[in-house]
Amino acid sequence: LAAGWTPSALLAAGWTPSALRAAGWTPSDLLAAEKEWEAVPKIDNPYSRMLADIEAGRRKHDQSRFGPDCDPATNLCGTAMCTAGHLVNMAGKVGYELRAKYGWADAARMIHLKSRPDVPAQNFGGIPQEFAMAYIRERAKEEKK
Q: What is the pLDDT of residue 132?
A: 95
The answer to whether residues 90 and 43 touch, using CB atoms and an 8 Å cutoff, is yes
Q: How far apart are CA 90 and CA 101, in angstroms?
A: 17
- pLDDT for residue 73: 56
What average pLDDT is seen over the chain?
A: 85
Which of the listed ranges 28-37, 67-76, 78-87, 122-131 does the model predict with the highest average pLDDT? Answer: 122-131
First to last CA, the chain: 30
**Per-residue pLDDT for 52 more than 90?**
yes
Please say if the pLDDT value at position 2 is more than 60. no
According to the model, what pLDDT value does residue 71 have? Answer: 60
* pLDDT 10s digits, 103-120: 999 999 999 999 999 999
